[in-house]
Each structure stands twice: as structure tokens, then as C-alpha cells.
Amino acid sequence: MLTKRDISLPKGRQVKEEVLVSVYKILGKLPIRRDMLIEAMHLIQDKEGFLSKDNIVALAEIFKLSRVEVYEVASFYHHFDLVEDGEKNPSKIKIRICNGLSCELKNSRKLKDLINNEFYENYHIQSVPCVGKCDKAPVAQIGKRTIENANLKKIKNSLNGPYSPVIPKYENLEKYLKNDGYKILKKLLNNSLSSGKIIKILSESNLVGLGGAGFSTSTKWEIVRSYCGPKLMTVNGDEGEPGTFKDRYWIENYPHRLIEGVQIAANVVGCEKVYFYIRDEYPACIEILKREIKKLKQINFLTIPVEIRRGAGAYICGEESAMIESIEGKRGLPRNRPPYISEKGLFDKPTLNHNVETLIWIPEILNKGSKWFLNQGWTKKSHGLRSYSVSGRVKNPGVKIAPAGIPLIDLINKYCGGMKQGHKLKAFFPGGASGGIFPAHMANNPMDFGIWEKNGGFIGSHAVVILSDKDDILNAVTNTINFFKHESCGQCTPCRVGINKISNLLSQNSLDKDLYEDLIYVMRDSSICGLGQSAGNCVTHFFKFFNKK
């Protein structure tokens, strides 16, 4: 029987004063707002190497949120290591081994097994999805330092630190200004180039969104511009599609081309603030942007306020509405549409969202003219230049700046030095994991929007993964499906259950084509976002092109 004293006792886990003080100290000058919750979690994870239940309770107290809500956010993102009561705290030194397709082709699974055998007791070893360094596969990360072409010896030599990211040489503010950088932004600000003229030039250039959707840039600007009231802008640097690493290339080499493109777009559309959302796997990119934005502030040339937000290891946040939810400090669950984010986006305000590469081309087009960009295409029907992330069985993988519409075979031979010695082209992903997988005889098709859709695929973010006659296509398909299984946000049943069932069938070596087709049909027609709608493309193509029995 409950007594009055029992009823008066507080229920549940209580805030520990020493933990509360410690968390406040870690957060420092971080603004205590709902949308800064994920940033707060990052600071604790960076400092302690994990999030304990006591940390969760302290954050709930500090941010005036329910503990359940804070726990839901923390457990949604893969980069937060949650420690249960009585569980051993993981080592602060984390060895993350990429299990993306390009890395698995280079035996990353074997590498992880070797590391587990040698270091299991002393280090926190994780198998993680694509980390955006596919051209240097296999890849490992120790702390914030990336180990390219990783092997056991390199990892052993790196365990004593430093664990901070290597900052590559890049075009800094001084160099960019010497190269006539920010000329277009200056013209816009002094009214010698009007917003209307800029939109007209971009319209004539046929610049489209290069994050995967291919939607007209100028049309998007006009739509967002048409709404009344304060507007915001988001920059999507959360490329998580296996095989994609072009955004990393641009930020690590030419950050001010991006920043100028952002400021032009924000000024033309009338955005009052810009939010960069960058993958947590890209610490060098984050540091470069912080440094160069600080320099712009010092010379009073940052015309629109900017915030940089770190992703936390959720591929789904590459979807624009899921990214917005994450910036707001929530789980990255895609929103139902309408309304679209152009009308009701970040903090319920009209929001302009762009991929990094789209913004990169804006200063170039405005400097050189729409005709220049139009004439860069491989054919009369393809316009502009594109950044192709090429990995897999080619001699020289990497980001290749090539004409839109170039046939894949020419991209391989003219830009990648041909196939790797001893390998013959067998198959390829033209647009990352979700774009589907196609046989070698289709390598003469143009690499552009509107081409691969005829066969149930798409070019998406131009992430090209090349497979050879030495690779097992079914293994590649299984790796791809397991990636989607790991990354499904779980919000909608067709995606959550459907991908899991496909993964289980593949693990059982099932070749029941009709069953796969039924699952994919339901996922495609009733999933909320593109992840569930396109996850089955590689399975469909396996039966269509590689297993016609």
C-alpha cells in the first residue's frame, strides 16, 4: 500500500547536480534553444566520447524538454554513442571502418575483422556507412582524422594521434579575391547587376539542382521569392549517397565559390539567414567554412548571417525536409507534402534549399554568361558541366569535372584513365545506391537527367561506381540494400518493413523475383520519401539485367 511519503517522492531518474554542472561547462556559450539540442549533443560526444543516461537527463533539464524527446533525438543519429546503465563506457578513440560499396570492393570487411582481432579490448571499433571518400577506398576514420587507402599498418601508426582532421590546401579568401572573386556579389550589392537580371541569366543557362532532383534553379528562386514575410536558406552539404563525395571536393578546394553562390542566392531571394548543414564525417569542410566565414565577417563582407550545423550520421537528412527537422534539433524524419519547404520550411518560414554543387556554378555562370555554360554540354540536348564522383574499378577514381551528357564509357576512358588493369567493365551505378545498377552494354548512354529514368533508374547526384568482371553483382546489390536498411528512418511502414524483408531474403539467397517485385511495388508507391521509393531499384535491375531466369 502506497504511503503519503511514497507518493511525494519524485518518479524516474533524477538530475545529478555534478552532471548538470559538467554539461553546462561543456556547452559553454552555446545558446540554449530547442534547435541547438543536436549541437549540444555533439559537444558532449566530442568531450566524453559518448552520451550517458545522466547526460540525457541533464540536457532535458537544461533545454526544458521531456527526457523521452531528448532520448529519441539522441538515439536517432548514428554518431551519438548511447551508454546504458552498467554498460562499459566506450573508448574515446573510435576506429570507424567504412562498409560502403566502394570500400567493400577493396576488402574493408576483411580490414575490420583484422582490427577487431588485434584491438577489440582497447578501442571502440565501428562499421559505418559511406564516409564520402570513396576514391581513396578502403577508408577508416580515427577520431576526426581520415585514413585513406587504409590498412592495418596505417591504422596502428595513427592510434597515438593526432585525431584532428587534416586541413588540405585550398583557395582561401586572399587567393579568391586575387582571382577576381566576389565580383558578382559586389555588382549585386551596388545595384549594377539586378536580381531580375541574375534570375534571367540562370534561367537561360538551364542550371538545375545537382543534388539529385534536377529542378530548375531559377524557377525555385522565383517560387521562394514570391512568398511574403521573412525567408531562410539552407545549404545541403549532407551528401550521404554511397559513392558521392563531390561536395567534399568543392568545399575542401574552393570554399569561396560556394560562399559567394550562397550570398548571391540569399540576397536575390531575400533570405534573412543561411544555415549550412554539413556531414559530421567532413570535419575538415566544417573547419574550412568556419575559418573563411570568420574572415568575411572581419572585413564586413558577410552580407547575410550564417550558421553552420553538423549532421550526426543520418543519410535520411540529405532529404530536404528531414534536414530541416534536424536543423530544428529534432529527429530527421521527412515531412509529408504539401506544404513544400518553399512555402513552409525551416521554422515554418519559406525556405530556399540548395545542394553545394548547384551553388558552386552560380558565380561562374554569372561571370562567363549563360551561353558559356550551355555550350559545355556533350551534346546539344545536355547543358553545362557536372561533378562526377567516380569510384570502383577505374585507374584514376575521383571527382571529374566533365560535360553533362558524356557517355559513361568516355567518362571512364578520357577522365579516369580507363579500367583498372586486369578488370573489364561489367556493371555500374550511374547515380549512387538509389540510382540503380546497369550492365556494361549501356555504357554508351549519356550521363544526364532524363536518360536512366526510362529504365527505372536515375543519375541523381552523379555518383558513379564502377564494377568489373571480378565483382559479384548480387553482393553489390546486397551491400546496397543493407545500406538502406541501416539508414531508413523508420517513419513509414512500407520502407521500414519492406527493406528489412528484402535484406532478409537476400541473406537467405532467395531469388523469388515475384516476391521481391511485390515488396518493391508497395515501397515505391507508398513510402513517404525517396529512400523507400528508390531503394529497390538495384534489386529490380539485378533481375532485369543480370539474372533473367
Report CA-CA distances (Å) from 427 to 442, 465, 543, 548: 9, 9, 13, 15
Average pLDDT over residues 130-134: 95
| Rounded Cα gap, residues 138 and 163, in angstroms | 19
Contact criterion met (CB below 8 Å) for 328 and 346: yes
Mean per-residue pLDDT over the chain, rounded: 94
pLDDT tens for residues 92-110? 888 999 999 999 999 877 8
Question: pLDDT (tens digit, 9 = 90+) per residue, 400-409?
Answer: 999 999 999 9
Q: Which residues pair with 275 in a beta bridge?
A: 234, 307
∠ CA 523-524-529, nearest 5°, is 90
- Is it true that the peptide bond before 446 is cis, omega within 30 degrees of 0? no
Cβ-based neighbour number of residue 126 at 10 Å: 16
Q: Which CATH class is domain 385-468?
A: alpha beta
Phi, psi (5° rounding) for residue 306? -130, 140
Give yes or no for residue 118 having a pLDDT over 90: no
- Mean pLDDT for 463-474 is 97
Statement: residue 469 has pLDDT above 60: yes
Q: Between the CA of residue 8 and those of 3, 17, 136, 223, 361, what are the distances in Å?
A: 9, 20, 60, 57, 64
- Give start-end residues of each CATH 1.20.1440.230 domain in the chain: 473-546
- What's residue 4's pLDDT? 54
- Judge whether residue 425 has pLDDT over 90: yes
Torsion of CA 118, 121, 123, 126, to 10 degrees: 80
Local confidence band at 116 (pLDDT 50, 70, 90 cut-offs): confident
Mean pLDDT of 136-141: 96
Burial of 294 (0-12, 13-18, 19+ CB in 10 A): exposed
For residues 149 and 146, give the distance between their C-alpha atoms in angstroms, rounded to a whole number: 10
Q: pLDDT digits over 321-334, tens only? A: 999 999 999 999 99
Measure the CA–CA gap between 533 and 524, rounded to whole angstroms: 4
Cell numbers 550558421: residue = 307
**Under 8 Å CB-to-CB from 239, ≥6 apart: which residues?**
132, 211, 245, 246, 247, 248, 279, 318, 355, 356, 461
Here the cell at position 276 is 549550412
Strand partners, 313: none
**Pairwise CA distance, residues 137 & 353, whole Å:** 31
Q: What is the pTM of this model?
A: 0.95
CATH label, 473-546, candidates 3.30.360.10, 3.40.50.300, 3.50.20.10, 1.20.1440.230: 1.20.1440.230
With a cut of 70, say whether residue 8 has pLDDT above it: no
pLDDT over 90 at 212, yes or no = no
Percent of the chain with pLDDT over 70: 97
Band (pLDDT 50/70/90 cuts) for residue 533 is very high
Q: Which residues pair with 96 in a beta bridge?
A: 126, 141
Grid look-up 539586378 returns: 194
The pLDDT value given to residue 3: 57
Which CATH number, 3.30.465.10, 1.10.10.1590, 1.20.1290.10, 3.40.47.10, labels domain 15-83? 1.10.10.1590
Q: Is 214 left (phi over 0), alpha (psi -120 to 50) or beta?
A: left
* Residue range(s) occupied by CATH 3.40.30.10 in the chain: 94-158
Q: What is the pLDDT of residues 219-246, one digit of tens each?
A: 999 999 999 999 999 999 999 999 999 9
Instruction: Kindly report, as residue ranges, where domains of CATH 3.10.20.600 are found in the chain.
Output: 385-468
Helical (H) or strand (E) element with 355: strand 351-355
Q: Under CATH, which number does the domain 94-158 receive?
A: 3.40.30.10
